[in-house]
Amino acid sequence: MSCKKGHSSDEHHHHHHHSHSGEELNIRQKLEKLLEHWQHHNEDHARSFETWEKKAREEHLVEVAEFLVEAARLTREINEVLQEALKKIKS
Protein backbone atom coordinates (compact mmCIF):
# COMPACT_ATOMS: atom_id res chain seq x y z
CA MET A 1 0.00 0.00 0.00
CA SER A 2 1.45 3.37 -0.94
CA CYS A 3 1.12 6.51 1.11
CA LYS A 4 0.37 9.98 -0.20
CA LYS A 5 3.99 11.09 -0.25
CA GLY A 6 5.20 8.12 -2.26
CA HIS A 7 6.44 5.99 0.62
CA SER A 8 5.23 2.46 1.00
CA SER A 9 3.81 1.64 4.42
CA ASP A 10 6.86 -0.55 5.08
CA GLU A 11 9.20 2.41 4.62
CA HIS A 12 7.58 4.19 7.55
CA HIS A 13 9.11 1.59 9.84
CA HIS A 14 12.64 2.20 8.61
CA HIS A 15 13.15 5.88 9.39
CA HIS A 16 16.46 6.56 11.08
CA HIS A 17 16.37 9.63 13.28
CA HIS A 18 19.58 11.35 14.23
CA SER A 19 20.15 14.38 16.40
CA HIS A 20 21.84 17.46 14.98
CA SER A 21 25.08 16.34 16.59
CA GLY A 22 24.95 13.18 14.48
CA GLU A 23 24.28 10.89 17.45
CA GLU A 24 21.53 8.31 17.34
CA LEU A 25 18.34 9.42 19.11
CA ASN A 26 17.38 7.54 22.26
CA ILE A 27 14.13 5.57 22.49
CA ARG A 28 12.21 8.43 24.15
CA GLN A 29 13.32 10.85 21.43
CA LYS A 30 12.44 8.37 18.70
CA LEU A 31 9.01 7.78 20.22
CA GLU A 32 8.38 11.51 20.43
CA LYS A 33 9.25 11.92 16.73
CA LEU A 34 7.18 8.89 15.75
CA LEU A 35 4.14 9.96 17.76
CA GLU A 36 4.24 13.40 16.12
CA HIS A 37 4.69 11.80 12.68
CA TRP A 38 1.82 9.37 13.19
CA GLN A 39 -0.51 12.16 14.31
CA HIS A 40 0.30 14.25 11.25
CA HIS A 41 -0.08 11.25 8.96
CA ASN A 42 -3.42 10.30 10.54
CA GLU A 43 -4.75 13.83 10.15
CA ASP A 44 -3.87 13.69 6.44
CA HIS A 45 -5.88 10.48 6.18
CA ALA A 46 -8.83 11.92 8.11
CA ARG A 47 -9.00 14.91 5.75
CA SER A 48 -8.81 12.55 2.77
CA PHE A 49 -11.69 10.47 4.17
CA GLU A 50 -13.75 13.66 4.50
CA THR A 51 -12.97 14.73 0.94
CA TRP A 52 -14.03 11.33 -0.38
CA GLU A 53 -17.09 11.29 1.86
CA LYS A 54 -18.33 14.42 0.08
CA LYS A 55 -17.63 12.85 -3.32
CA ALA A 56 -19.45 9.68 -2.30
CA ARG A 57 -22.51 11.74 -1.28
CA GLU A 58 -22.45 13.52 -4.65
CA GLU A 59 -22.71 10.07 -6.25
CA HIS A 60 -25.54 9.13 -3.85
CA LEU A 61 -23.34 6.57 -2.11
CA VAL A 62 -24.76 7.51 1.26
CA GLU A 63 -23.76 4.34 3.11
CA VAL A 64 -20.19 4.58 1.83
CA ALA A 65 -20.12 8.24 2.87
CA GLU A 66 -21.23 7.30 6.38
CA PHE A 67 -18.43 4.75 6.67
CA LEU A 68 -15.93 7.42 5.62
CA VAL A 69 -17.32 9.83 8.24
CA GLU A 70 -16.79 7.10 10.84
CA ALA A 71 -13.29 6.39 9.56
CA ALA A 72 -12.37 10.08 9.94
CA ARG A 73 -13.82 10.13 13.45
CA LEU A 74 -11.96 7.00 14.51
CA THR A 75 -8.71 8.26 13.00
CA ARG A 76 -8.99 11.45 15.05
CA GLU A 77 -9.82 9.38 18.12
CA ILE A 78 -6.57 7.48 17.55
CA ASN A 79 -4.79 10.82 17.39
CA GLU A 80 -6.20 11.72 20.81
CA VAL A 81 -4.66 8.52 22.20
CA LEU A 82 -1.35 9.28 20.49
CA GLN A 83 -1.47 12.82 21.92
CA GLU A 84 -1.82 11.40 25.42
CA ALA A 85 1.20 9.17 24.81
CA LEU A 86 3.14 12.19 23.55
CA LYS A 87 2.26 14.14 26.70
CA LYS A 88 3.66 11.29 28.81
CA ILE A 89 6.89 11.18 26.80
CA LYS A 90 7.36 14.94 27.19
CA SER A 91 6.63 14.99 30.94
Cβ atoms of residues 56 and 68 within 8 Å: yes
pLDDT of residue 12: 46
Q: Is residue 3 part of a domain?
A: no
pLDDT class of 83 with cuts at 50, 70, 90 = very high
84-89 long-range contacts (CB < 8 A, ≥24 apart) are 85/31, 85/35, 86/32, 86/35, 86/36, 86/39, 89/28, 89/31, 89/32, 89/35
Q: Is residue 12 part of a domain?
A: no
Which value, to the nearest 10 degrees, does the dihedral of the CA atoms of residues 84, 87, 27, 34 take? 60
Domain region containing 57: 27-90
pLDDT of residue 66: 98
Q: In the chain, how many domains are there? A: 1
pLDDT in tens, 19-69: 556 668 899 999 999 999 999 999 999 999 999 999 999 999 999 999 999
Q: Is residue 4 part of a domain?
A: no
